[in-house]
Amino acid sequence: MKIIRTIEALRTEILAAKGAGKNVSLVPTMGYLHAGHAALITAAASETDFVCVSIFVNRLQFNSAKDFETYPVSESEDIEVCKKAGASLVFMPSHDEMYSLAPALQLSMPSLSANLCGPVRPNHFEGVLLIVARLFNLFQPDVAFFGKKDYQQYRIIERLVRDLNFPVRIVGCETVREPDGLAMSSRNANLRPEHREQAALIYRSFKILEKAVNNGMADPIELTEIAQDVIVSGPDNRIDYVQIVHPETLELLQAIDGPFVVAAAVFCGEVRLIDNMTISPVVHDSF
């Protein structure tokens, strides 16, 4: 497995791999890799013969300086995770390597950023769009893997690819969870021990909401309140948002009449966690 730190060296490796007729895959990450990332790399290795992982904490997508500064880093452990999961190449550039020139170009997607994390993390998806478009051009992957834990990001990237005709296939992988349901996240490392159990209430709230839907409840406001109540039963949980949206347009739903996504952002103590669940209501016979 090669470890590459410069754009120039990366271009050489990609050209060589493509020249050798290899299928190239990309797993973009911000490091501090966990089982969720490993699952993405494993999925990539099962489909392609040149698996690239990028590890870059992209300052441009952090709306909070504190969040950026406290974002956990674990370079040598990350390299081990990549190796074990079957990566061929890890790209770990410095901030200066990636942003030697501050970008003049701005990318945005107002429609898909209108809800969920969009309003509460100004400039976040703009930063994501820019770095992902750049990574696609640098790696020219045939396929790229994203975790559905970042559901809004996954949908925005899908649309980026469609709107700009990037010759890359996007695969969304299911969220990997701890035994109690907490979604794997690099930020979990920053949770205080006394908040860890309360963090699992996010996923628990989705499961309870799912039951309510299958019992016939169809009002998104009532459903959202149920989830909120479950989450704040953890005294150190503070809700950033809980929203029920259309799985593709990410528009807030006025009524449940098909599959939907419930998504939440919650401060567990100081640590902001996100999670979501796609729910397909059981269709009841109406006679």
What is the set of active-site residues? Answer: 37
Comparison of 13 and 210: residue with beta carbon closer to a copy of itself: 13
Comparison of 46 and 94: residue with beta carbon closer to a copy of itself: 94
Phi, psi of 46 (to 5 degrees): -75, -15
Long-range CB contacts for residues 190-196, cutoff 8 Å, separation at least 24: 190/70, 190/72, 190/270, 190/271, 191/268, 191/269, 191/271, 192/269, 192/270, 194/236, 194/269, 195/234, 195/236, 195/268, 195/269, 195/271
Contact residues for 69 (Cβ-Cβ < 8 A; gap 6+): none
Query: Smallest distance from the beta carbon of 2 to a copy of itself, in angstroms?
Result: 19
Comparison of 21 and 179: residue with beta carbon closer to a copy of itself: 21
In a 3-state reduction of DSSP, which class is residue 1?
coil
**DSSP-assigned states of every residue in 42-55:** HHHHHH-SEEEEEE
Comparison of 225 and 248: residue with beta carbon closer to a copy of itself: 248
Estimate to the nearest angstrom the gap between the alpha carbon of 275 and the chain centroid: 9
Contact residues for a copy of itself, defined by CB under 8 A: 7, 11, 101, 103-112, 129-130, 133-134, 137-138, 140, 159-160, 162-167
d(CA 283, CA 258): 9
Query: Smallest distance from the beta carbon of 140 to a copy of itself, in angstroms?
Result: 7
Supply the angle between the helices 151-164 and 124-139 in degrees, to the nearest 10: 50
Query: Smallest distance from the beta carbon of 131 to a copy of itself, in angstroms?
Result: 10
Measured between alpha carbons, how far is residue 183 from residues 48, 172, 246, 282 in Å?
A: 26, 15, 21, 24
d(CA 212, CA 214): 5
Query: Smallest distance from the beta carbon of 226 to a copy of itself, in angstroms?
Result: 31
Comparison of 10 and 213: residue with beta carbon closer to a copy of itself: 10
